[in-house]
A and B are shown apart, each in its own frame.
Chain A
Amino acid sequence: MSNRKDRLKGSLINFAGLLVLFFILVLVMQSGVVSSYVRGIIVQCFFAIIMVTSLNLVMGFLGQIALGHAGFMAVGAYTSALLAKAMTQANILTATPAAGVVQFLICMAAGALMAGLFGLIVGIPALRLRGDYLAIITLGFGEIIRVIIQNLKIAGSKGLAQGQAGQPLIGIPVMNNVYVLYWIMVLCVAIMFTFVRSKYGRAIMAIREDDIASSCVGLNNTYYKVLTFTISAMFAGVAGAIFAHRGLGTLSQNDFSFLKSTDYVIMVVLGGMGSMTGSIVAAIVLSALPELLRAAAQYRMLVYSVVLVLVMIFKPTGLFGAYEFSLQRGLKRLFGGRKEAQKA
């Protein structure tokens, strides 16, 4: 699969697969069986996918555990929500639903940039440490971000000029158009996927395997680490923006506690550290499952934690490990006979 033609074919197949998925989504949405409740779950799956894949960049590919990812999500969410409120108050891009989408995209981009900036600010000092110290320091930064948001006047109640500290932000413009969100999610995952397949991705995996050896062959470890962390934070910001506009119209700093961060850590670990497709599957299953099993919701975390320990004992790299599902390979195996599949 190394030559260019094959790679192009692979991208086309993947794109076709995504289109098929999109049409299934359209069919399901148009059939009228989707209540607003189910729509909420679908949107939840989308931002969870972005969150988990972005966290996987740090945990799976950089090999460092970060416990403050919800903090970056919060930065993205609040930036986007406040900007959207300001734009709506000034009547910018509010006339039609299409304009609303553009407004959302601008706010989301702002949220992503702001979260990326925070990732950079946090990453430069924090990434001098590693292992459990890095875990703790990211946790610390995440909590600080949360406490600051809690005490910001503009980020509470009605927000902006009429804001009040310590209250949930209300009246956020809603953007839960699943078609748009689907393509945003696809684009985010695709960017992250190409990132880990690029020379940057290979560099960070080299650092993960042996940081002394990687610096000996001339890789600038700090640069790559901070870059990965910043990108990861940026996408967490995108996820946060989707979260902020998901339809409830409210945002509370409690949504971004340390427990939220561990939630996503669980998803990354169960999906497999170093497997993007594993992350996607884990994000979908673990976001939808608690909704389907409402009755057992009380025992959800109990079950997760036991499963997590068992996975750590029997397969420390997570359920999928670093295995990636490939549509091209799957199709070949289905139609092209065994021999060709093995060659691929």
Chain B
Amino acid sequence: MEVFFSQLINGLRVGSVYALIALGYTMVYGIIRLINFAHGDFIMVGGYTLFFTVPLMTAAGMPPWLAVILAIAVCAAVGVGVEKLAYSPVRKKGTKMSTLITAIAMSLFLENLAQALFGANPKQVKTIFNLPNIGNVSGNTILTIVLCVAVMLALQVFVQRTNMGKCMRAVSEDKEAAILMGVNVNRTISITFAIGSGLAAFAALMFVAQYSQVTNTMGSMLGLKAFIAAVLGGIGSIPGAMIGGLVIGMAESLSKAYMGALTGGVITSAFSDAIVFLILIVVLLVKPSGILGKNAGEKV
């Protein structure tokens, strides 16, 4: 039981990071119907920013986690830059396929740029949080979960209650109609990208606080799993991303712990990645709209 509980908490922590990333995927997909493959790499951008700014913060005598503000700024700038320089021109001319290929290309670009700039070796990030344990659960874990829920709630309020949020929903519903109603579509898309990428910086903070390592490819697997979380929860839905993230995180950590015992050693813990992808496949085949997604249906 002890093991089960600790694995569950573990899963919640990993799931919270996935959820933070999935929120970014969901927002961008909701507004321009694009799987932003580069989103995972925004986390990497955030990670490297933290690697460089955390020592600066400590040197200046400030708490190291304040570095996240800079990371958010950098991530948001990169996100908006990618949208303006690559996605936007392609979207105007090309098909769905060419925007998807552009997204893959941007992901490769960011990963390889990071490799060219900082090398392929992992970088060690200094300790960011020094939190006491509460019971058996580390402070880091609790902070991650709380932060994730708080961000999700704030985002939900932002999208449902503010003017900008209304614009976002309008653009995602019907772009042309939104233009007619006087919504500045380009600005709305840019702000969506900025927020989504900023969330990636948060995810980077929590990831680095736990594993204290950044590499140039850290975002690709993380991004893929978070994307699966977004699909599972229902892409375009903010609470959905949260639920999806937590489910994926828990599925992953529980399957790591128990899969071998349950199947008599046939399927070992090494299959946990495959299990996450299996969840994706089942969801896409059974209910492509996800847990909380609206069933859009194909236009005929």
In the complex the two chains form, is A129's CB within 8 Å of B93's CB? no
- The answer, yes or no, to whether B60 is at the interface (CB within 8 Å) is no
Chain B interface SS verdict (over half): helix
Q: Collect the chain A residues with CB atoms within 8 Å of residue B106's CB.
A: 305, 309
Our pick among A136, A266, A298 for the contact of B116 (Cβ within 8 Å) is A298
State the Cβ distance, B93 to closest chain A Cβ, in Å.
6
Our pick among A63, A133, A305, A316 for the contact of B94 (Cβ within 8 Å) is A316
- Indicate whether A129 sits within 8 Å of B108 (C-beta atoms), given known contacts A135-B35, A309-B86: no
State the Cβ distance, A253 to closest chain B Cβ, in Å.
11
Our pick among B101, B113, B228, B268 for the contact of A312 (Cβ within 8 Å) is B101
State the Cβ distance, A211 to closest chain B Cβ, in Å.
10
- Indicate whether A143 sits within 8 Å of B273 (C-beta atoms), given known contacts A265-B101, A316-B95: yes
Our pick among B98, B101, B108, B268 for the contact of A301 (Cβ within 8 Å) is B108
Q: Which of B86, B105, B281 has the most CB of A within 10 A?
A: B105
- Indicate whether A212 sits within 8 Å of B270 (C-beta atoms), given known contacts A137-B280, A301-B112: no
State the Cβ distance, A5 to closest chain B Cβ, in Å.
39
- Indicate whether A143 sits within 8 Å of B277 (C-beta atoms), given known contacts A128-B285, A305-B105: yes
Q: Collect the chain A residues with CB atoms within 8 Å of residue B139's CB.
A: none
Our pick among B97, B111, B270 for the contact of A166 (Cβ within 8 Å) is B270
Binds B, one of A39-47, A144-152, A182-190, A330-338: A144-152
- Indicate whether A316 sits within 8 Å of B274 (C-beta atoms), given known contacts A137-B284, A139-B224: no
Give B70-93 as 1s and 0s: 1 = Cβ < 8 Å from A's Cβ atoms.
Answer: 000000000000000010011001
State the Cβ distance, A205 to closest chain B Cβ, in Å.
15
Measured in the bound complex, the distance between the Cα atoms of B227 and A136 in whole Å is 9
Our pick among A65, A144, A266, A304 for the contact of B278 (Cβ within 8 Å) is A144
- The answer, yes or no, to whether B104 is at the interface (CB within 8 Å) is yes
- The answer, yes or no, to whether B52 is at the interface (CB within 8 Å) is no
In the complex the two chains form, is B35's CB within 8 Å of A306's CB? no
Q: How large is the interface on B (under 10, 10 to 19, 20 to 34, 35 or more residues)?
A: 35 or more
The closest CB in chain B to the CB of A151 belongs to B270
In the complex the two chains form, is A135's CB within 8 Å of B280's CB? no
Give A217-234 as 1s and 0s: 1 = Cβ < 8 Å from B's Cβ atoms.
Answer: 000000000000000000
State the Cβ distance, B174 to closest chain A Cβ, in Å.
19
- The answer, yes or no, to whether A243 is at the interface (CB within 8 Å) is no
Measured in the bound complex, the distance between the Cα atoms of B102 and A313 in whole Å is 9
- The answer, yes or no, to whether A299 is at the interface (CB within 8 Å) is yes
Our pick among A133, A298, A304 for the contact of B288 (Cβ within 8 Å) is A133
In the complex the two chains form, is B102's CB within 8 Å of A309's CB? yes
Measured in the bound complex, the distance between the Cα atoms of B101 and A67 in whole Å is 10
Give A110-143 as 1s and 0s: 1 = Cβ < 8 Å from B's Cβ atoms.
Answer: 0000000000000001101101110111011101
The closest CB in chain A to the CB of B82 belongs to A309
Give B243-286 as 1s and 0s: 1 = Cβ < 8 Å from A's Cβ atoms.
Answer: 00000000000000000000000001011011001101100110
State the Cβ distance, A148 to closest chain B Cβ, in Å.
7
- Indicate whether A147 sits within 8 Å of B274 (C-beta atoms), given known contacts A129-B288, A132-B100, A305-B106: yes
Measured in the bound complex, the distance between the Cα atoms of B106 and A266 in whole Å is 12
In the complex the two chains form, is A258's CB within 8 Å of B220's CB? yes
In the complex the two chains form, is B108's CB within 8 Å of A304's CB? yes
Our pick among B94, B96, B116 for the contact of A131 (Cβ within 8 Å) is B96
Measured in the bound complex, the distance between the Cα atoms of B278 and A148 in whole Å is 12
In the complex the two chains form, is B280's CB within 8 Å of A65's CB? no
The closest CB in chain B to the CB of A307 belongs to B105
In the complex the two chains form, is B98's CB within 8 Å of A143's CB? no
Measured in the bound complex, the distance between the Cα atoms of B111 and A68 in whole Å is 20
State the Cβ distance, B186 to closest chain A Cβ, in Å.
17
Chain A 49-69 interface residues, beta-carbon cutoff 8 Å to B? 59, 63, 65, 67
- Indicate whether A151 sits within 8 Å of B268 (C-beta atoms), given known contacts A143-B273, A312-B90, A312-B105: yes
State the Cβ distance, B220 to closest chain A Cβ, in Å.
7
Chain A 62-84 interface residues, beta-carbon cutoff 8 Å to B? 63, 65, 67
Measured in the bound complex, the distance between the Cα atoms of B94 and A140 in whole Å is 26
Measured in the bound complex, the distance between the Cα atoms of B115 and A166 in whole Å is 27
Q: Collect the chain B residues with CB atoms within 8 Å of residue A269's CB.
A: 101
Q: Collect the chain A residues with CB atoms within 8 Å of residue B90's CB.
A: 309, 312-313, 316
In the complex the two chains form, is A305's CB within 8 Å of B112's CB? yes
Q: Which of B34, B96, B99, B101 has the most CB of A within 10 A?
A: B101
The closest CB in chain A to the CB of B88 belongs to A313
In the complex the two chains form, is A136's CB within 8 Å of B35's CB? yes
Measured in the bound complex, the distance between the Cα atoms of B35 and A302 in whole Å is 21
State the Cβ distance, A303 to closest chain B Cβ, in Å.
9
- The answer, yes or no, to whether B109 is at the interface (CB within 8 Å) is yes
The closest CB in chain B to the CB of A67 belongs to B104
In the complex the two chains form, is A135's CB within 8 Å of B281's CB? no
- The answer, yes or no, to whether A248 is at the interface (CB within 8 Å) is no
In the complex the two chains form, is B270's CB within 8 Å of A140's CB? no
State the Cβ distance, A81 to closest chain B Cβ, in Å.
21
Pairs across A and B, CB under 8 Å, 5 listed: A137-B284, A304-B105, A308-B104, A309-B109, A312-B90
Closest 8 pairs between A and B when the two form their complex, measured CB to CB: A316-B94, A305-B109, A308-B105, A140-B277, A316-B98, A147-B274, A305-B108, A301-B112
Residues of B with Cβ closer than 8 Å to A? Answer: 34-35, 86, 89-90, 93-102, 104-106, 108-109, 111-113, 115-116, 220, 224, 227-228, 231, 268, 270-271, 273-274, 277-278, 280-281, 284-285, 288, 300
